[in-house]
């Protein structure tokens, strides 16, 4: 072992611990594989493997809202995937988001597809006004601490672009990893008639609001948030003003940090685009207080009611089951929804409630709160 040329990944782990990071969200890169193996095997963090980087932005927002300290570990290409979520959620509301990104396309890169975005990333980040730090080799790993602390002190994103040169002499701790047995029984009996919906989404939100006491509520962007505000505004409601597809991700992050029940008012289109349900199922043991209400109107309700794939083809409850969520329910009338709510806590979460509603929006006004006001009053109500 060459002195000073080993252990960059271990040092990052130590820095995250020193910065009180408690949840690490990952989507791996081969260049940083030692760090990913160390995170996955660590007892110091809650590790959340992602299916898409954008969901990491949402989960991190929920963790931050709940008083936690998240870090996201991704490949730099994932920054391209998640730019809108970072800008419309983390930046717009003022959410701490330290991102450690394996910087591809700049150091002995052999994959042509990594080069265009990788080389342009510093200019992209500068154009967006996103703070970033470049780590060129193992001697600069200490800069990770400053970046993480900057993100939390300023309640803002901070991206760390880490050159693959940094890890060149790190031992491969993942070599020879023994995987657990994969054999399992996968069985499902399911038959369901999707009837013509009776409720509007506004009707469903009113019914759900009747059962609210000290639950945390995250509502989907656009008109659903406006409808919830009109029905029952409360500090424990987190209204999304952007970042489509991240409501259930935010809810999952909150469920990982609070003991309160967490309700998410999501939509069929948003859930179809996010792909977050397998991640929710993967964290079942830690998210038993999470309930996702899929208010399925079969359309993109806030943008003109263009049909989604759920209108004729996809049963969202079946999708949740296939994703690994065990406790699912369906409600197609107000009485069925009330019955679901009465018996909701008889089963542990995460729970998925598929609520069939008609297309259409209620005539409601805009939410007269700034993103920062929504965030601050929510955190005050939740954390004191």
Q: What is the pLDDT of residue 5?
A: 41
User: Domain 8-167 class?
Assistant: alpha beta
Q: What is the pLDDT of residue 226?
A: 97
For the stretch 41-65, pLDDT in tens is 999 999 999 999 999 999 999 999 9
For the stretch 132-168, pLDDT in tens is 999 999 999 999 999 999 999 999 999 999 999 999 8
Instruction: Give 201-383's CATH code, choosing from 3.40.50.970, 3.30.70.100, 3.20.20.10, 3.30.420.40.
Output: 3.40.50.970
What residues does each domain of the chain span? 8-167, 201-383
Query: HEC profile for the chain?
Result: CCCCCCCHHHHHHHHHHHCCCCEEEECCCHHHHHHHHHHHHCCCCEEEECCCHHHHHHHHHHHHHCCCCEEEEEECHHHHHHHHHHHHHHHHHCCCEEEEEECCCCCCCCCHHHHHHHHHHHHHHHHHCCCEEEECCHHHCCHHHHHHHHHHHHCCEEEEEECHHHHCCCCCCCCCCCCCCCCCCCCCCCCCCCCCCCCEHHHHHHHHHHCCCCCEEEECCCHHHHHHHHHHCCCCEEECCCCCCCHHHHHHHHHCCCCCCEEEEEEHHHHHHHCCHHHHHHCCCCCCCEEEEEEECCEEHHHCCEECCCCCCCCHHHHHHHCCCCEEEEECCHHHHHHHHHHHHHCCCCEEEEEECECCCCCCCCCCCCHHHHHHHHHHHHHC
Mean pLDDT, rounded, for 124-135:
98
For the stretch 330-384, pLDDT in tens is 999 999 999 999 999 999 999 999 999 999 999 999 999 999 999 999 999 999 9
- Pair 139, 152: CB distance under 8 Å: no
For the stretch 91-107, pLDDT in tens is 999 999 999 999 999 99
For the stretch 163-188, pLDDT in tens is 999 998 888 777 767 888 999 999 89
Q: Do domains 8-167 and 201-383 have the same CATH topology?
A: yes
pLDDT at 3 over 80: no
Binned at pLDDT 50, 70 and 90, residue 1 comes out as very low
For the stretch 317-332, pLDDT in tens is 999 999 999 999 999 9
Q: What is the pLDDT of residue 2?
A: 42
Mean pLDDT of the residues in the chain: 95
């Amino acid at each position: 072992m060459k002195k000073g040329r080993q252990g960059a990944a271990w040092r990052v782990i130590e820095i995250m611990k020193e910065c009180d990071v408690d949840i690490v969200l990952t989507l791996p890169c081969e260049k940083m594989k030692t760090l990913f193996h160390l995170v996955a095997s660590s007892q110091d963090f809650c590790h959340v493997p992602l299916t898409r980087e954008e969901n990491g932005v949402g989960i991190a927002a929920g963790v931050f809202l709940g008083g936690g300290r998240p870090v996201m570990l991704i490949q730099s290409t994932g920054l391209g995937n998640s730019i809108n979520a970072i800008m419309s959620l983390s930046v717009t509301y003022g959410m701490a988001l330290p991102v450690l990104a394996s910087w591809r396309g700049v150091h002995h890169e052999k994959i042509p597809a990594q080069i265009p975005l990788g080389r342009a990333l510093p200019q992209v980040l500068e154009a967006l006004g996103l703070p970033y730090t470049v780590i060129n080799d193992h001697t600069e790993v200490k800069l990770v601490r400053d970046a993480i602390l900057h993100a939390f002190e300023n309640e803002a994103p901070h991206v760390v672009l880490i050159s693959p040169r940094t890890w060149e002499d790190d031992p491969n701790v993942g070599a020879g990893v023994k995987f657990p047995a994969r054999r399992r029984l996968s069985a499902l009996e399911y038959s369901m008639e999707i009837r013509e919906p009776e409720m509007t989404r506004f009707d469903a939100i009113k019914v759900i609001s009747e059962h609210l006491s000290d639950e945390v509520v995250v509502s989907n962007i656009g008109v659903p948030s406006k409808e919830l505000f009109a029905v029952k505004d409360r500090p424990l409601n987190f209204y999304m003003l952007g970042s489509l597809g991240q409501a259930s991700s935010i809810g999952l992050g909150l469920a990982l940090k609070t003991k309160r029940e967490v309700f998410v008012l999501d939509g069929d289109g948003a859930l179809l685009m996010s792909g977050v349900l397998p991640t929710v199922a993967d964290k079942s043991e830690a998210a038993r207080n999470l309930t996702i209400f899929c208010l399925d109107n079969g359309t993109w309700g806030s943008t003109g009611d263009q049909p989604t794939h759920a209108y004729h083809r996809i049963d969202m409850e079946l999708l949740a089951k296939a994703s690994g969520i065990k406790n699912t329910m369906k409600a197609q009338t107000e009485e069925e929804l009330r019955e679901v709510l009465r018996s909701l806590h008889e089963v542990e979460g995460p729970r998925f409630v598929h609520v069939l509603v008609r297309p259409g929006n209620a005539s409601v006004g805009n939410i007269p709160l700034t993103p920062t006001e929504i965030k601050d009053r929510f955190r005050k109500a939740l954390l004191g």
